[in-house]
Amino acid sequence: MSEHYINYFKPPFGLLLLESTEDVLLRVQWVKNKDIPETETRPILEETKKQLQEYFDGEREIFNLSFNARGTAFQKKVWKVLRTIPYGEIKSYKDIADAINNPTAPRAVGRANNKNPLNIIIPCHRVIATSGLLTGYAGGIEIKRKLLEMERHYLRNFAAIPRPD
């Protein structure tokens, strides 16, 4: 079994635990405090922190990291679709169920979201209830709201910047 490494990342709100093997990211999880001791770092953890900082600074919309999202075949199918949701946009659990050709499975999609081991990297925060309400998120509803507001803020500001023809 390969060794696992733990680091933390402190965004503008909340705290993220980062876990990896030597060169593959395994987990980005919202936590309340540093219950698990930090280990020495690895290049994959440093790159994850760099890309997360760029995301929170409004400079990154898509993550380019080597990761292994461990889960069931169904969960992996859901997570693959989540990665296609554009920065600053939202989809409903029903939209995701339809996208995986399983239109009667919005609740199962919600459970798959709940098991997402790579918060932010796999953007489950961009999924809301069909009613438009913000529902369940590993970091809590307030963090989900802040992430969505942050993405929309950066998108609006970026769209306002004149681009050369």
The residues annotated as belonging to the active site are 124
Nearest of 158, 133, 155 to residue 145 by alpha carbon:
133
| Nearest-angstrom CA–CA distance, 64 and 74 | 23
Alpha carbon distance 54, 51 (integer Å): 5
Q: Which of 96, 87, 84, 83 lies closest to 135, judged by CA? A: 96
Amino acid at 46: E
